[in-house]
Amino acid sequence: MTNDTTDTPVAERLAGTNAGIVERHDLNETLSIVRVRPDNGRIPDFKPGQFVTLGLPKPLTPAIAARLAGRPGVVPMVRRAYSVASSPRETDTLELFVVLIETGKLTPLLWRRDFPNRVFLEDVAKGEFTLDSVPDGQNLVMISTGTGIAPFVSMLRTYRGQNRWRQLVIINGVRRVSDLGYRAELEAVSREDPTVRYVPIVSRPDAGGWDRLCGRVQVMLDDTLCQEHAGLCLDPRSCHVFLCGNPAMIDEMELLLQKRGFRTHTAQTPGNIHFERYW
């Protein structure tokens, strides 16, 4: 599904918003890739791996209305952080990979078909989940679950062809095949670029519809499977591992990697495990 709202009249703009969702592609009923364009035409400066904050005005309940009495111009917002999937070289829009959280406060509003495609976009990108601390020429293994793949897509789109890595492996674990965001793009890059490997893993494949790796991303800790599908082994002497997604996955992978000699990176102690807890 694609919605173009670039011509939304000013009078229809929601109070407190400063950007519009100008494109939306639904992968399934709970996943969508969206593009956001600021009204001023300038996206925030960002590095691949950083996130931006998206927001919508809160529904005006009697309690909120009472708190705002006598405070004209104040618009309470529901705000959530989203890693950017697009490259900083794309200067007109930001691409985000968004999952519907049924019990959430923001995404159910975004999924309503009758809701104006207007949002608040913070004008500053944040986050330290970047390649700044990683020297050139390393093997980079980027392990994600679900929409946690977004920052890795940004890194690939930005640094591909610049000798930033020796080998880049992007591993994405999902429940269903239809949850594999960016699959076509990543498969194409893997075919064209010998320095890039894409490894999708599905935990609940449809009957007869998936003949590749099944299970959780932790299966890649098996040296035989890792060598077969990623073309390398997880060696702390030559490899940096990036983790993004489900906090339980990150905690488990961090512990297992540490047992193999990897060390978690911090500002005070450089290491080769980097992670972003995505929710």
Q: Which long-range contacts (CB under 8 A, 24 or more apart) does 35-42 make?
A: 35/86, 35/93, 35/94, 35/95, 35/96, 36/93, 36/94, 36/96, 36/119, 36/121, 37/6, 37/92, 37/93, 38/121, 38/123, 41/92, 42/91
Query: What is the reported pLDDT for 60?
Result: 62
Q: What is the distance between the alpha carbons of residues 274 and 93, in angstroms, rounded to a whole number?
A: 27
What kind and span of H or E run contains 174? Answer: strand 165-174
pTM of the full structure = 0.89
pLDDT 10s digits, 204-219: 887 667 888 999 999 9
pLDDT 10s digits, 178-207: 999 999 999 999 999 999 999 999 998 876
Give the dihedral sign, CA 226/232/237/243.
negative
Domains and CATH numbers, the chain: 10-121 (2.40.30.10), 138-277 (3.40.50.80)
pLDDT 10s digits, 87-141: 999 999 999 999 999 988 889 888 876 665 889 999 999 999 999 999 999 999 9
